[in-house]
Structure 1
Amino acid sequence: MCKNMPPLELAIQFHGHICPGLLIGVRVAEFVQKHLDISQDYDEELVAIVETDSCGVDAIQAILGCTFGKGNLIFNDYGKSVYTIASREKGRAVRVAQRFGATAFKESERFRQLNRKESLNEEETAEKENLIGVLFEKIMTMPLDELITWEDIELKMPGKAQIHATLQCADCGEGVMETRSHKTEAGILCIPCYQNRGGGSGV
């Protein structure tokens, strides 16, 4: 993926297609870059805390460079289109939330109906493509303060990602990160094996 691509193209290439959620993520990422005066992350200069696992997060990863692999993308499963982005260098953080109902266009509901169908006929496929064009225009041109709210916040910056030892699970034999393993009388267990033996649901 070419880092010199425009943000929208980066996001589409990463996500694989255009959809309303991705476009919202693009606008959030572009706003954050301007608001915090930051560029794409290289080595954990930025931290993103996201409260959804929806399409918009792919734009955050592609444009801002915050990823699970680098350890600077933190997922809180709250089911909210909220993104907190922080810059270690700037010592600043901003929390961005999508406004409730901001994209409740009639085209959005029809797009969701079509998207839920397992297969589309030729007419429906053409309709969906047309809807994407309409939604693209609406989402990408609507005033930013009608789409999102934002506030600068104080954020205790999480530590940079650590490399931990890999241990072998006594049951399945697979490797498990030390910090995610359970020490038991049967030996070291990974979370699934620990749960299969009647252990708790967490680490």
Structure 2
Amino acid sequence: MTCTFSAETIEDTIAFHGHSCPGLAIGIRASELAINELGSPEAIEMVAVSETDMCGVDAIQFLTGCTYGKGNFLHRDYGKIAFSFYDRKSGKGFRALLNPAVRAGMDEELAALMGKQSDGSATQEDKSRVKELRALLQDRFMTIGLEEMFHVTPLTTDPPRGAKILESLTCDCCGESVMESRTRRFGGKTVCIPCFATMEQKI
């Protein structure tokens, strides 16, 4: 099943991110899956949770309207290519984990070649092969069926609660304003996280 977003929408997504790449393609297909499963972002109250900070999160922000600034896109730094989507209105939600098999064994070769690029030992042939493999992966991600691309499991937990406006406190150390939920107490003082880290460090 080829991606159902229009060519124009895909080009707009690429322009938003700044370049076309396999990681962006993953986010495009995850967004497509979310819309297929939950409905149009205009019709529902969608919330997205990403377990990675790779290129695909830009596609999700652009295509679903879930953004960090609105508080309906959360990042959990687990290092997994997995995305959860919820509809706050219906309570329905699912988690989509990228199926490693969709990479069709290209990862090992690509990783080795990119390692050579990093240490400066890559030949022109190596560099050409990297471009070829990335193009092959991107094409595969954009054309494979969604049911093959992701392992999907329903979510039974409630969606993350909406963003709340919290009180701002003044750090007793640096004097800067800080959200109350991000403060620490140390030596009877209310301090921000960077100041706390400096005061509490063991070395």
**% identical aligned pairs:** 35
Provide the residue aligned with 2:71 in structure 1: 71
1:55 aligns with 2:55: yes
1:20 Cα offset (Å): 1.2
1:46-195 alignment to 2 at 5 Å? 46-106=46-106, 108-116=107-115, 117-118=117-118, 126-185=128-187, 187-195=189-197
TM-score by length of 2: 0.79
Unaligned runs of 5+ in 1: none
Cα 1:199–1:45 change in 2 (3 A) is farther
Contact 1:170 1:188 (8 Å CA) reproduced: yes
Distance 1:13 1:196 in 2: 40
The answer (yes or no) to whether the contact 1:47–1:87 under 8 Å persists in 2 is yes
Given that 1:169 and 1:176 are in contact with CA atoms closer than 8 Å, whether structure 2 keeps it comes out as yes
Matched position secondary structure for 1:139: helix
**AA in 2 matched with 1:17:** H
Partner-residue secondary structure (3-state), 1:80: coil
TM-score with structure 1 length normalisation? 0.79
Q: Distance in 2 between matches of 1:199 and 1:181?
A: 16
- Paired AA for residue 78 in structure 2: Y
Whether the 8 Å contact between 2:52 and 2:82 is mirrored in structure 1 is yes
In the TM superposition, residue 87 of structure 1 has moved relative to its aligned partner by 0.8
What per-residue deviation string (whole Å, max 9, x for no partner) do you get for residues 97-135 of structure 1? 1112321443x4444445453478876655544444322
After superposition, the C-alpha distances for 1:159-178 in whole angstroms (9 at most, x for unaligned) are 21012222222222222111
Indicate conservation of the 8 Å contact 1:33/1:39, yes or no. Answer: yes
Shift of 1:136: 2.4
Tell me, which stretches of 5 or more residues in structure 2 are unaligned? Answer: 1-5
**8 A Cα contact 1:48 1:73, kept in partner:** yes
Provide the C-alpha distance between the structure 2 equivalents of 1:36 and 1:53, rounded to a whole number of angstroms.
23
- Structure number with higher helix proportion: 2
Distance in 1 between residues matched to 2:188 and 2:7, nearest whole Å: 52
Instruction: Compute the RMSD of aligned alpha carbons.
Output: 2.9
Q: What is the one-letter code of the residue matched to 1:187? A: K
- Per-residue deviation at 1:145? 2.0
- The aligned counterpart of 1:38 is 40
Q: In the alignment, what sits opposite 2:3?
A: none
CA distance in 2: counterparts of 1:136 and 1:82, whole angstroms: 18
Structure scoring higher RCO (CA < 8 A, sep ≥ 6) equals 2
TM-fit CA distance, 1:27: 0.6
